[in-house]
Structure 1
Amino acid sequence: MSREVTNDEIREACFSLHPNKAPGPDGFNAHFFKKTWHIVGDDVINAIQEFFHSGLLLKELNATILALVPKVPNPSKMTDFRLIACCNTLYKVIA
């Protein structure tokens, strides 16, 4: 990227996420961040800007839970499952 990510762009990315999608390993979904933005907003912005400056991502932010949900009763092959990836909300904002 040739320019810095602005505070408004980070806030907009966070607030564009569906509020009630499954939370990631940290247990927080986008609804939490939207409702507590007045408390956590500055820290969220600082963490995301630090990633764009350093290129380093904390392993805790990059953690994802993968779940296989059966699409049919008595699944017997991989195509009988739906893969659900539960990523951390801050990872989604960065992406």
Structure 2
Amino acid sequence: MGRDITDDEIREVCFYLHPNKAPGPDGFNAPFFKITWDIVGEDVISDVQEFFRSGLLLKEINATILALVPKVPNLSKMKDFRPIFCCNTLYKIFFLFFFWVSK
């Protein structure tokens, strides 16, 4: 990215996440991180900064559940499903940060 990421930028991205999104495989959703920021914020900041420094991502953070939700009563093709991707919130923060800094 060419520059260091500030603690305030990471917090801002975390608090920008929509509260009604489904949690990922770890079970933690965006409101959990917002409510417990005083406890987990330092670790989140450290993880995000380390990811952008090293480019390495733990496989546990990259885990995603794919749910196929039926769109029609009589399913016959893959297009009859709506895919829902349940990613870990920390992964969402990493992903969203790419778009956040480019605005």
Shorter-normalised TM-score: what interval?
Answer: over 0.9
Alignment match, 1:33: 33
Residue segments in structure 1 that go unaligned for 5+ positions in a row: none
Structure 1 residue identity aligned to 2:47: A
- Displacement of 1:74: 2.3
Equivalent-residue separation in structure 1 for 2:3 and 2:65 (angstroms):
32
Superposition RMSD in Å: 0.7
Runs of 4+ with >3 A deviation? none
Count matched residues: 95
- Displacement of 1:75: 1.1
Alignment match, 2:53: 53
Residue segments in structure 2 that go unaligned for 5+ positions in a row: 96-103
* SS state at 1:83 partner: strand
Equivalent-residue separation in structure 2 for 1:80 and 1:72 (angstroms):
6
- Displacement of 1:84: 0.3
Structure 2 residue identity aligned to 1:73: P
Could you list the per-position Cα deviations for residues 36-79 of structure 1 after superposition, in whole angstroms to 9, with x for gaps in the alignment? 00110001000111111111000001010001000111211111
* SS state at 1:28 partner: coil
TM-score calculated relative to the size of structure 1 = 0.97
**1:1-95 mapped onto 2 (5 Å cutoff):** 1-95=1-95
TM-score calculated relative to the size of structure 2 = 0.90
Equivalent-residue separation in structure 1 for 2:82 and 2:41 (angstroms):
34
